[in-house]
């Protein structure tokens, strides 16, 4: 067993860390307060090759692996979790399935600008009546001649207000449930019949914008189907397997930021005549935070390693996501406790980390869904 990163992985981690510290972190408080989308930072992520980390250079990406992606995601999310999820959705929910299931033309025309960060993508699965149970979706697509006609509504779609492309999941035959679902590539800007709703006002990750996407008899060429007819559910599930590694990495970043803030504060703040870090009650909290964060990191890197080595990783990515998300909730709660009353004030970054943490427990499959995935693998033996 070898627990060491390659030179390439370390170089990308260093680059992402520098960018995060110098350019993202100083903006995070303001982006959160204003709920502002960081268009310039996203463009720079593209220039640094971080919007298509694991996509080969011939299709606009950087040609690294998923372990590298985890390292970079943690760094960016440590500085700003909202910016982190913008990157994560583009990398794992959009570029990854386009690379895996796309035709050569789709890869050249649609994937390449997305992976290079010149355009932005989003993933349209969730609907008002179909969140945890996407097979119950109502959005329809039907083929008429050599055209596809798409109708329906998707909600809570991360990146939608800023995106150029959406991967939309729609049913071609509702009777068939998941076997009737197809994935369709939808251009979002100035396309007849497509309307993107206003951004939702969210508790956390406020730099990333989410909204609905409404489609009314939207016409698309048949060449915009991603994967075969009826294969969409598989596209969605395999994509989410990888996406959950991205969200686990985002949780690592948020938790790492909260731990760093807590360590600094505990060394500086004094009670009963000494820094609070020297009180065992606080020191033990810090010890648990560090231990849990490392455990989540190892689970996340294991899932990425398995993906990189083309081995099954569905159970492992669900384990990484549920553990990292719940670790992030526990850790950010403790970070506020370490800060006492100050931690409850907007002035202190741990208040933002606490709000940002919650979504990791919800999107890309709630913690309850991760437990369903894990238990079904365990029970299969």
**Rg of the Cα trace of the chain?**
21
Q: What's the min distance (Å) between Cβ of 153 and ligand CAA?
A: 15
**Shortest Å distance, C-beta 51 to ligand CAA:** 15
CA distance 264 to 274: 14
- Name the residue nearer to ligand CAA (CB basis): 137 or 259: 137
- Residues near ligand CAA (CB under 6 A): 85, 89, 93, 123, 125-126, 132-135, 158, 178, 233-234, 237-238, 240-241, 314, 363-365, 369, 372-373
CB of 71: closest distance to ligand CAA in angstroms?
Answer: 20
Beta bridge partners of 220: 148
Record the tokens describing residue 65, joined without a space.
């692996």
Rank residues 55 and 85 by Cβ distance to ligand CAA and give the closer one.
85
Whole-number minimum distance, CB 356 to ligand CAA, in Å?
13
Q: Three-state SS string across the chain, please?
A: CCCCCCHHHHHHHHHHHHHHHHHHHHHHHHHHHHCCCCHHHHHHHHHCCCCCCCCCHHHCCCCCCHHHHHHHHHHHHHHCHHHHHHHHHHHHHHHHHHHHHCCHHHHHHHHHHHHCCCCCEEEECCECCECCCHHHCCCEEEEECCEEEEEEEEEEEECHHHCCEEEEEEECCHHHHHHHEEEEEEECCCCCCEEECCCCCCCCCCCCCEEEEEEEEEEEEHHHEECCCCCHHHHHHHHHHHHHHHHHHHHHHHHHHHHHHHHHHHHHCEECCEEHHHCHHHHHHHHHHHHHHHHHHHHHHHHHHHHHCCCCCHHHHHHHHHHHHHHHHHHHHHHHHHHHHHHHCCCCHHHHHHHHHHHHCCCCCCHHHHHHHHHHHHHHC
Please identify, using beta-carbon distances, which residue of 81 and 369 lies nearer to ligand CAA. Answer: 369
Nearer to ligand CAA, 336 or 373 (CB): 373
Nearest CA among 266, 253, 241 for reference residue 357:
253
Q: Which is nearer to ligand CAA, 221 or 312 (CB)?
A: 312
The nearer residue to ligand CAA, 100 or 191, going by C-beta atoms, is: 100
Q: Is the CB of 46 or the CB of 82 nearer to ligand CAA?
A: 82
The DSSP bridge pattern shows strands 270-271 and 274-275 to be antiparallel
* Minimum distance, C-beta of residue 174 to ligand CAA, in the bound complex (Å): 14
Q: How far is the CB of 147 from ligand CAA (least distance, A)?
A: 27
Q: Is 364 a catalytic residue?
A: yes
CB of 136 to ligand CAA, least distance (A): 8
Cα 39 to chain centroid distance, Å, stands at 17
Would you please indicate which residues are annotated as catalytic (active-site) residues? 364
């Amino acid at each position: 067993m070898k627990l060491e990163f390659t030179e390439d992985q370390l170089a990308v981690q260093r680059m992402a860390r520098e960018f995060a510290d110098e350019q993202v972190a100083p903006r995070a408080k303001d982006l959160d307060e204003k709920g502002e989308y960081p268009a310039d930072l996203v463009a720079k992520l593209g220039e640094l090759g971080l919007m298509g980390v694991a996509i080969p250079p011939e299709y606009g990406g950087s040609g690294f692996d998923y372990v590298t992606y985890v390292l970079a995601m943690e760094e960016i999310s440590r500085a700003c979790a909202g910016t982190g999820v913008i990157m994560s959705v583009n990398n794992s929910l959009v570029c990854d399935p386009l690379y895996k299931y796309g035709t050569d033309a789709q890869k050249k025309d649609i994937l390449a600008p997305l992976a290079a960060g010149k355009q932005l993508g989003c993933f349209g699965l969730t609907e008002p009546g179909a969140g945890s149970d996407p097979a119950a979706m109502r959005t329809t697509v039907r083929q008429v001649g050599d055209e596809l006609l798409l109708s329906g509504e998707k909600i809570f779609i991360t990146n939608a207000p800023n995106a150029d492309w959406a991967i939309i999941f729609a049913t071609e035959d509702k009777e068939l449930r998941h076997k009737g679902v197809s994935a369709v590539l939808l251009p979002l800007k100035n396309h007849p019949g497509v309307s993107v709703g206003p951004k939702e006002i969210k508790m956390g990750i406020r730099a990333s914008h989410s909204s609905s996407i409404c489609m009314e008899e939207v016409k698309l060429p048949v060449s915009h189907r991603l994967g075969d007819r009826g294969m969409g559910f598989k596209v969605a599930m395999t994509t989410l397997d990888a996406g959950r590694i991205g969200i686990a990495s985002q949780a690592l970043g948020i938790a790492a930021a909260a731990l760093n803030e807590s360590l600094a504060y505990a060394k500086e703040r004094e009670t009963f005549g000494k820094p609070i870090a020297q009180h065992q009650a606080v020191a033990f909290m810090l010890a648990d935070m560090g231990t849990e964060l490392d455990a989540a990191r190892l689970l996340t890197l294991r899932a990425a390693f398995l993906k990189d080595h083309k081995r099954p990783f569905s159970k492992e990515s669900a384990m990484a996501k549920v553990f990292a998300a719940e670790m992030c909730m526990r850790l950010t709660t403790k970070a506020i406790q370490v800060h006492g009353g100050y931690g409850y004030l907007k002035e202190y970054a741990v208040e933002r980390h606490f709000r940002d943490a919650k979504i990791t427990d919800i999107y890309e499959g709630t913690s309850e869904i991760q437990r369903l995935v894990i238990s079904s693998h365990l029970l299969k033996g």
